[in-house]
Amino acid sequence: MPNKRRYVPHQLIIHLDYHPDGILEIKYDYPFSAPHTLSEKVIRLVPEEVPQQLRADLTELRNWLRARLDVRPVRIPHGEILPATRDGILTVVIQDQRRSLPIARLYCYEEIKQLGSQVERELRMEAPDFTPEQRAAWKRAQQEIKGRAWMDFQKKVATYPDQTY
């Protein structure tokens, strides 16, 4: 039986990390050209550099994920305490041919200061979980982020003008 060629995607793998303080990190790599893989590259934008529409879309995605958090009171002797919550990093997969997109993940932290306790929670939405409105927000973010990652990649490759790509 002949060897079947393994499909190798020809697109960058791209995701973003949106921090609670408004910093946006666009991360991309290309692991399919072993042994000469493109290691992860990071484009870091401070809050003032993040376009208003992108910020609004990422905030909406964060809110939709946060709404999935089910915080329950914690029993202690003679009572209960409701943990406080705070957001962690929102990760959104922008481009990955190996997966069914969109995908978004938010880390949240439940904290009970009186007990010195912190518990990390992962809230996740996969392709079937997205409503048309959520998918539209993701699509707008995808277009913006893909463009920035591709431009950054082209700048890096263009530094080697005698190479074909």
Residue 11 scores a pLDDT above 90: no
* Helix (H) / strand (E) containing 16: strand 13-18
Residue 159 scores a pLDDT above 70: no
Whether the Cβ atoms of residue 51 and residue 58 lie closer than 8 Å to each other: no
- Round the average pLDDT of the chain to a whole number and report it: 90
Residue 33 is predicted with a pLDDT of 75
13-18 and 103-112 strand pairing? unpaired
The band of 8, judged by pLDDT with boundaries at 50, 70 and 90, is: low
Q: What is the percent of the chain with per-residue pLDDT over 90, rounded to a whole number? A: 74
Give the Cβ contact number of residue 83 at 10 Å. 18
Give the Cβ contact number of residue 147 at 10 Å. 10
- 3-17, 24-38, 87-101, 150-164: the lowest-pLDDT one: 150-164
**Which tens digits make up the pLDDT trace of 111-138?**
999 889 999 999 999 999 999 999 999 9
* Helix (H) / strand (E) containing 109: strand 103-112
pTM of the entire predicted model: 0.84
- Find the length of the chain: 165
**Which tens digits make up the pLDDT trace of 40-96?**
899 999 999 999 999 999 999 999 999 999 999 999 898 999 999 999 999 999 999
How many CA atoms lie within 13 Å of 70's alpha carbon, on the beta-carbon side?
Answer: 1
